[in-house]
Chains A and B, each alone.
Chain A
Amino acid sequence: MNQISVGDTSAWTVIHGASVAAPFLRAAYAPSPCAGDLVEDQIDLFLEGTPSQLTTALSLLEKTISRSQLHAQGGYPYFQMLRFQPESDGTYYYCPINNPYLTFNASGYKTHHTGSLQVTLHFTRPNWFDSDPIELPLTNRNGEDVTGGIALFNHTDAHAGHDSSVLIKPDHIESALPAPLRFELENTHPTGEVQDIFTGLYHHPTNDEHDIFFCQSPEFMGGSLLYSPDAINEYYRRLIWSSTSWTDLGSWTLINTHVRLFSGRTFRPILHLYNSHLYNDLYLKIKLLKGSLVLWEGEAIYADPSYQYLIFPPVRIPPVSLLNENLPHHIDFAFFAQRHTSGTHQIDVDNLLLLPLDTSASFLGFFTLMEEAVLVDDSFFGKHNIRYPTLGSEAVGHLRQGGPLLLYPVEYNRLFFVQTNTSHQVDILRTSTLKAYYRKRVRLL
């Protein structure tokens, strides 16, 4: 090991190897074996120097401990970490340390004043080590392997540049374990502000296409297809019914090659409406059908009329595991609606996104994201905020739901975004730019 340090990004203290300074002499570290996500671990530190140097070093270690405790309470901004550099000029790897404390060798109280000391730093750490962030080249129809920011639209259709997702190629993720993602999403739209943002990641060894996630209205079976230049792909479906019972409004067919690509993963269907509806007693639900056979039925959702989109319960596609010896059967993704009020009812359906939940996060805004403001989400630090470049400041503006966003190495990863404005609309012409970073994650240094 070329070097081991302790501290945080504001200040590092080398405790082993290159550039180590008295009284720190060396460190002995044998990572504890563990199958779980958290490891109870320790590192032995050997110190030699004047009693004054030793006292200063111990104060420094105690400061690290107190900063870690303060960080846990939100009173200090940085993780306390161990930093490892396996080889000279090589990559640094970090692990946050929690619940740290020091113990001393039995004769420490004597040797402290004669110039040597052995102390053990005990701590809990994640069962992995992460590198510094590395910018990811991003690909969609606005550019290939773009760094420095790629353009996003707030919908995906056949028109040039209308992409709401980015692809990350397998070659660009060098990590032994799923790697934490950091993204920076800048609002570049001159009008309106962003309220909520939904993200999701999908990974697959071979699939680099986005078509399977977006179901467009021309392919919907049911209702009438209507033209509008303002609709996604310029068409939407008008679905009309009059029963007060649950009524089948129609379906999209997920062909068997697509079902195979969904791989039994879970998706959150987000249905975009061309127009908001006006009903305060409308419920919808999804059924996965094989012909008339119901393979899976979701819970009904209340279609709040103040929203121009509907989010359905997570659905696994296909709903049960298959042997995978043949192509899976195709599935009809069917919509059912119910209003208890009698009369003729109508909704205008624009498109459906199957938002992947491999790893995902929702950002529910209590501050809006104005033009040029940047939503930053860092799954390594487990923090997010809004950055205001013109003001040079940052603030937390969203309640974040979901776990860390992780990229799967040696696979195609696709990152999706859905942005809503303060009127609960997915304003489809909204634009933004995206930068993304990852940290290599390894179990063994």
Chain B
Amino acid sequence: MTHALFVSFLRRDFSGPFLPAVRLAPERLSWSAFGGPDQSIILAHGQIENLLELTSTLRFPVHIHDHQNTPVWWGFVDEVIIFLEDVQVKVSLVNLYNRVTIQYSFISPDNKLADQLETAPINNPQSQSEFGIKETMIHETDLDENFANALRDTFLSLHAWPFSELSQRSKPGEVYAQLHCSGWFKTLAWRNYKNLEGFYANYGPGPGVFAFGDANTHRYVGQSFQPGANVNLKYVYFRLRAEASPSTSLTARLHSQSSGYPGSLLATSSAVPASQVNGSKYAWIRFTFSTPVALSSGTVYWITLNPGGVNASNYFYIKTDENMEFSQLWRHGAYFNQSTGAWYPLPSETAPGTKPDLVFRFVCLSDTGLQIATIASAGDQFFEKILGLTTGIQTSPFRNNGYDCLKEIEALMKAGTSNKRWVLATVTSERFLKFYEQPDPDEADVYIDSKSRFFTKHQVQLPSYLPPVGRYARLAATTRVSLPWDRNRIPACFIESAAYFPTVDKLIIAKHSSS
């Protein structure tokens, strides 16, 4: 028993319907719990000239619905293949890029790595307005600036418009076309994501060390920084070494800035016993704010380190960076002289009069659900609305890997929620991007019988072209699986993805390729 499914198109700008003069029939539809409608293949039959017109449907929105107009699958045309008698023509968005950046390394004459740079991005606005922004970052080595720019410009010129390919068919055959369509979730891969906020660090490498806690003149040390977004500070790290055997406890403290130096105390970290600080070598020591402290975008803050007392024989050294490598130019380190009651810039042996930084890492955390929504917003070009969730998992929102939004989001989805379940996503037929928590396996709400028919727990049959992807299913064909008793022996099966073949009314349940 096959079901009639119908295909309709909208124009690329969603302004109205597009009515092709060909007969269309879906051949394969697939869905994923990680994005909703995933892939589809639509067959088209008609006159050659009308089939060739289908090449203009790239990035056209596609809707497939059943005889009751229930939406079944939706997305956009990603690739069109026209099969003529002996040849086939393919046009595709797969290799289209209309925003290009080259990230490259530069080698000095003595054959050592001199620098790592990124070109400015170059755009093709016409292509972008037609198809949306689709960007790529190309990673190359051993280039100079001119070479990288030339490479970038040529790449853009060759890739700014749909890619076409002519080839011979393996044997002559029927004239028809195939439209390969993708779900909207995939368009998150069209934009790269970078977030330099939420992680502030200076690894130096120096030179410089500073003793503190050895005298009132070296009572505390500190470092200023300025977040560019609203973030929540959780951890601070400094590279420390102990001199002799201090017996105090250290704490990190967050201050506002006053007259260019630490001002009011805003929060204090949990104490770290001095015994955790190594006496023979420098090591990263972590200080934790038990409750993350909210930091405001654009406000300058100081993190200071309190050694817990003064002892001329038992004190601490902290690594400083006299080269001042911290990327925030006007931020620097300082120490507090209790005798004068004032803060001073850290001294520099190599460049007296400058203001060295500390070697540090300040780590801010945010809920991964918020991060997912933020990244999705950064990659959003076609969604009407983004509906997020709170995962209860806090991680650093800092991103600078050159990855696209989809890859970043998929990683966060796999990190899951505080209930130890994945984050799932779907795109509704109204193009609402919705993130939600994977259901509880103990609450399996669909059942499959021996004829591969899905039922709700109320015994209502689901059409095979509307598979329960993203839900837990149990076998209804046997009494050998019974909740709650068999939840460990035969756990409910999570339906990660499914493919439906309308011409034979066949549904295949599969595992998602990225899980």
Contact = CB atoms under 8 A, between A and B. Distances in A.
Interface in B439-477: 447, 450, 455, 457-459, 461, 475-477
Contacts of A357: 479-480
A361 B449 CA distance: 13
Interface residues of B, number: 22
A286 to B, nearest CB: 12
A369 to B, nearest CB: 15
Nearest to B484: A304
A403 B359 CA distance: 69
B475 to A, nearest CB: 7
- Dominant secondary structure at the B interface: loop
A366 B458 contact: yes
Contacts of B485: 301-302, 310-313
A20 interface: no
Interface stretch (B261-269, B418-426, B486-494): B486-494
Nearest to A196: B482
B167 interface: no
Given A73-B1, A399-B457, A301 B478 contact: no
Contacts of A341: none
B481 interface: yes
Contacts of A402: 476-479
Contact of A360 (B447, B450, B479, B489): B479
Contacts of A72: 1
Given A301-B488, A313-B486, A403-B450, A364 B477 contact: no
Contact of B447 (A314, A396, A401, A403): A401
Q: Which of B457, B475, B484 is packed against the most chain A CB atoms within 10 Å?
A: B484
Contacts of A312: 485
Interface in A51-85: 69, 72-74
B479 A301 contact: no
A72 B481 CA distance: 26
Nearest to B456: A399
A200 B461 CA distance: 25
Given A72-B1, A73-B1, A399 B488 contact: no
A193 B124 CA distance: 70
Nearest to B451: A382
A403 B477 contact: yes
B488 A401 contact: no
A398 interface: yes
Interface string A226-253: 0000000000000000000000000000
Interface in A357-404: 357, 360-362, 364, 366, 396, 398-403
Given A72-B1, A314-B480, A362-B482, A400 B459 contact: yes
A198 interface: yes
B481 to A, nearest CB: 7
Nearest to A360: B479
A300 interface: yes
Contacts of A99: 1
A132 interface: no
B457 A366 contact: yes
Contacts of A141: none
A403 B478 contact: yes
A304 B457 CA distance: 21
Interface string A279-303: 0000000000000000000011110
Contact of A313 (B458, B484, B489): B489
Interface string B38-60: 00000000000000000000000
A302 B457 contact: no
A399 B1 contact: no
A402 B449 CA distance: 9
Given A73-B1, A99-B1, A399 B479 contact: no
B479 A362 contact: yes
A73 to B, nearest CB: 7
Interface string A179-206: 0000000000000000000101000000
Contacts of A345: none
A200 B488 contact: no
B479 A200 contact: yes
A299 B489 contact: yes
B461 A399 contact: no
A69 B478 CA distance: 26
A399 B476 contact: yes
B404 to A, nearest CB: 42
A401 B479 contact: yes
A54 B507 CA distance: 39
A98 B352 CA distance: 93
B504 to A, nearest CB: 12
A398 B456 CA distance: 11
A260 interface: no
Contacts of A360: 479
Nearest to A361: B479
A330 interface: no
Contact of A198 (B476, B479, B484, B489): B479
A73 B466 CA distance: 14
Contacts of A403: 450, 477-478
A398 B479 contact: no
B488 A299 contact: yes
A200 B480 CA distance: 11
A277 interface: no
Contacts of B447: 399, 401
B441 to A, nearest CB: 13
A401 B475 contact: yes
B488 A302 contact: yes
A396 B477 CA distance: 17
Nearest to B480: A314
B459 A301 contact: no
Q: Which of A99, A268, A307, A401 is packed against the most chain B CB atoms within 10 Å?
A: A401
Nearest to B474: A401
Contacts of B481: 401
A311 B483 CA distance: 9
Nearest to B457: A399
A400 B479 CA distance: 9
B486 to A, nearest CB: 7
Contacts of B480: 268, 313-314, 357
A401 B1 contact: no
A364 B479 CA distance: 11
A402 B1 CA distance: 24
Interface string A311-328: 111100000000000000
A268 B480 CA distance: 8
A311 B486 CA distance: 9
Contacts of B484: 302, 304, 307
A435 B448 CA distance: 29
Q: Which of A300, A311, A398, A399 is packed against the most chain B CB atoms within 10 Å?
A: A399
A93 B239 CA distance: 88
Contacts of A364: 457
B476 A401 contact: yes
Given A73-B1, A302-B487, A398 B459 contact: yes
A364 to B, nearest CB: 7
Contacts of A362: 479, 482
A302 B487 CA distance: 8
A100 to B, nearest CB: 11
Q: Which 8 A-B pairs have the closest CB atoms?
A: A299-B489, A402-B479, A311-B485, A360-B479, A362-B479, A72-B1, A301-B485, A401-B476
22 contacts: A72-B1, A74-B461, A198-B479, A300-B488, A301-B486, A301-B489, A302-B488, A304-B484, A311-B482, A313-B486, A361-B479, A362-B479, A362-B482, A364-B457, A366-B457, A366-B458, A396-B458, A396-B459, A401-B479, A402-B478, A402-B479, A403-B478
Interface of A: 69, 72-74, 99, 198, 200, 268, 299-302, 304, 307, 310-314, 357, 360-362, 364, 366, 396, 398-403
Interface of B: 1, 447, 450, 455, 457-459, 461, 475-482, 484-489
Given A198-B479, A302-B485, A361-B479, 12 more contacts: A74-B461, A268-B479, A268-B482, A299-B488, A311-B482, A313-B480, A357-B479, A362-B482, A398-B459, A399-B447, A400-B459, A402-B479
